[in-house]
Amino acid sequence: MGLEQYLLMRHELVLTLITLIILIAELCIKGDNSRKIRPFAIILFFIATVVGFLPLGEGSLFGGMFQTNGMILIMKNVLNIGVLIIFIQSYTWLGNEENKIKVSEFFLLMLSTLIGMDFMISSGDFLMFYIGLELATIPIASLAAYERTKTKSAEAGIKLILSSALSSGIMLYGISMLYGTTGSIYFSEVAKSLHSSNLQTLAFIFFFSGMAFKISIVPFHLWTADVYEGAPISVTSYLSVISKGAAVFIFVIMLFTVFRAMTAMWQDVLYITSVLTMTIGNLFAMRQKNLKRFLAFSSISQAGFIFLGMIGGNELGMTSVVYFMLIYIFSNLGAFGVVSAIANRTGKENRDDYDGLYLTNPKLSLLMMIALFSLAGIPPVAGFFGKFFLFTAAAKGGFYMLVLIGVLNTIISLYYYLLVVKAMFINKSETPIQYFKSDGYTRLGLIICFAGIVFTGLFSFVFEYIRVYAFGV
């Protein structure tokens, strides 16, 4: 029993530490501190991200409440990379006149949610899981209402807190039934006593509904578009990438460990919801004119594809889900970065406003095109490989029909992604968005996304790295 065993929760400790440091800095710096806090927080978080990549063994703490292994470590690192990009991208927006007085709150709340997600991912029992989940949800609602003078932003906050309260309630009901039938809240104990009795099936359905709210799977997706549209763009990208990613990670861990005994049952559930999610997400995305709503529905349909990786229940599936999330972070943040850069400068976020963008801002439109191609899954960019591995994992599990539906949905999704590309490259406009030069931080964020999209796709060792690190093969 030495202190070094606490190194196992290194991610959480470092994040807590930098959260406190930023809070103290906010208390100490007098007057207008936005200029100092922003780079300070980004540098601190960069250090935390680098520290996260140091190798670490596996083990558990607090009598099994907290556990970690190679896979969990990779997941936390993937989330860290995403948050770092979001911090860099939101630099300019945080410098706005109305945001200046609450800059440090942005970082504090984001880091708190990240701590919650890290605890959630490495939870070893349902209690720790639930605390992590709530810590990851409640600050997000206040972030969604960050621009509190705007009605839509306040509405987004209210909608988010109400729908997540409902989903938490349903999930807690499911957890209580699991506890009732197995007599334990520890994952390892629960896994041993599960035997697909009816009450346990019901408990899983309730638990699944709660998780589906977070991942925005179709029957539970209704909050997504409104919240994504109303929240500030940085928070929207956080919601669509990091929140969703953390929920996907813990869900895949739970399916593969806790609910291992009920595999046949949850495969049915995942099959139906995955088909629904892909199709309905796609159909709604076609009709959206507002790019934030459009990206919201596109992220719903991406969640359906992620289920393809889980459904096989094999190691390849778990690796491909993490790999896909990494690519998804880069491509979605790339798309959101362009939308945010243009909205910051002109306030326009509709598809029609992007007509003729290529003639005035060629670099931005090229990046947007690559990000959208990656989301759609067109071969040279990374998104193709992400989807390819997801489909392989599903096919390995014997779900050929589902793979076919997935491929069909990819083609449907191509239509609406290309609509945006067409608007930028082919459509002519009387009043295109004028040429502008973004500042350094925006460009840095976009360059990281661009490099990520190209790099993770071209070099296969990223996938191998995840697989070897996670399973040691």
Partner 1 sequence: MSSESLILFFIVGAVFVGAVLIFSSLVPPKSKNPQKSEAYECGIPTTGITWLQFNIGYYLFAILFLVFDVETVFVFPWAVVMKELGMIAFVEIIIFFVILGLGLLYAWKKHALIWE
Residue numbers at the binding site for partner 1 (CB under 8 A): 20, 23-24, 26-27, 196-199, 201-202
Contact 220, 212 (CB under 8 A): yes
Token representation of residue 193 = 């006593």
Token representation of residue 189 = 């104990």
Q: How far is the CB of 399 from partner 1 (least distance, A)?
A: 22
Q: How far is the CB of 3 from partner 1 (least distance, A)?
A: 10
Q: How far is the CB of 27 from partner 1 (least distance, A)?
A: 5
**96 or 197: whose CB is closer to partner 1?**
197
**102 or 396: whose CB is closer to partner 1?**
102
Q: How far is the CB of 269 from partner 1 (least distance, A)?
A: 15
In order of 224, 232, 288, 331, the CA distances from 292 in angstroms are 11, 10, 9, 15
Q: Can you count the helices (H) and strands (E) in the chain? A: 21, 2
Alpha-carbon distance 10 to 29, whole Å? 28
What length does the chain have? 473
Q: How far is the CB of 23 from partner 1 (least distance, A)?
A: 6
**162 or 199: whose CB is closer to partner 1?**
199
Any bridge partners for residue 290, and if so which?
350
**26 or 353: whose CB is closer to partner 1?**
26
**27 or 468: whose CB is closer to partner 1?**
27
Q: How far is the CB of 432 from partner 1 (least distance, A)?
A: 43
DSSP SS3 for 186: strand
Alpha-carbon distance 105 to 95, whole Å? 13
Q: How far is the CB of 115 from partner 1 (least distance, A)?
A: 12
Cβ partners under 8 Å of residue 406, min gap 6: 278, 304, 305, 308, 387, 390, 391, 394
Alpha-carbon distance 397 to 45, whole Å? 39
**184 or 201: whose CB is closer to partner 1?**
201
**20 or 43: whose CB is closer to partner 1?**
20
Q: How far is the CB of 394 from partner 1 (least distance, A)?
A: 26
**26 or 355: whose CB is closer to partner 1?**
26
**262 or 421: whose CB is closer to partner 1?**
262
At 366, the amino acid letter reads: L
Contact 90, 62 (CB under 8 A): no
Q: How far is the CB of 441 from partner 1 (least distance, A)?
A: 26
Token representation of residue 11 = 């991610």
**165 or 458: whose CB is closer to partner 1?**
165
**201 or 429: whose CB is closer to partner 1?**
201
DSSP SS3 for 435: coil
The beta strand positions in 3-68, using DSSP E, are 59-61, 66-68
Q: How far is the CB of 104 from partner 1 (least distance, A)?
A: 9
**191 or 265: whose CB is closer to partner 1?**
265
DSSP conformation letters of 120-167: HHTBSBHHHHHHHHHHHHHHHHHHHT-STTSHHHHHHHHHHHHHHHHH
Alpha-carbon distance 35 to 45, whole Å? 17
* Closest C-alpha among 77, 232, 251, 249 to residue 160: 232
Alpha-carbon distance 32 to 409, whole Å? 50
2 CB-contact burial (10 Å; exposed 0-12 / middle 13-18 / buried 19+):
exposed
- The backbone torsions φ and ψ at residue 429, rounded to the nearest 5 degrees and listed phi first, read -140, 145
Q: How far is the CB of 271 from partner 1 (least distance, A)?
A: 18
Q: What is the dihedral of CA 228, 230, 232, 233, to 10 degrees?
A: 40
- The backbone torsions φ and ψ at residue 59, rounded to the nearest 5 degrees and listed phi first, read 165, -175
Q: How far is the CB of 186 from partner 1 (least distance, A)?
A: 22
Query: Would you give the DSSP letter of residue 67?
Result: E
Alpha-carbon distance 259 to 198, whole Å? 14
